[in-house]
Amino acid sequence: MNDLPQSDYLRLGETTLAALEAAADAADLDSKREGGVLTLELDSGVQIIVNLQPAIQELWLASRMGAYHFRHDGARWLDTRAARPLDAVVREALEGLDGPQLDLSALA
């Protein structure tokens, strides 16, 4: 578990979901936000789901390429297995699904 105060985790998580949603909207990628869950849907109907996990202070991403858990290291969200940043995993997921390129500079 992280040592972040819960309020900081929630602020960082919400900011991240909002940035992903804005990047999707700018690229004309369908997105739907329900609370702490953001669904990105490609024209093919395939989805990438990003959601907050407040109890363990993680952000989860699920797509056809797999499931990833991210923890905030004080600077950015990193995959708990390979320490890959969230923006890189999102880009890879979209590439693998022939999705649009998103400007994820707000996440870096």
Q: How many residues does the chain have?
A: 108
Q: Which fold has domain 6-107?
A: Metal Transport, Frataxin; Chain A (3.30.920)
Contacts of 69 (CB under 8 A, 6+ apart): 53, 58, 59, 60, 79, 80, 81
Calpha distance 25→82 (Å, rounded) = 29
Decide: pTM greater than 0.95.
no
Q: What is the pLDDT of residues 1-42, one digit of tens each?
A: 457 899 999 999 999 999 999 999 999 999 999 999 999 999
What the block records as the tokens of 89 is 């995993």
Residue 3 has a pLDDT of 77
**pLDDT range class, residue 107, cuts 50, 70, 90:** confident
- Tell me the per-residue pLDDT of 35-69, one tens digit each, with 9 for 90 and over: 999 999 999 999 999 999 999 999 999 999 899 99
Domain ranges of the chain: 6-107
Backbone angles phi, psi at 17, to 5 degrees: -60, -40
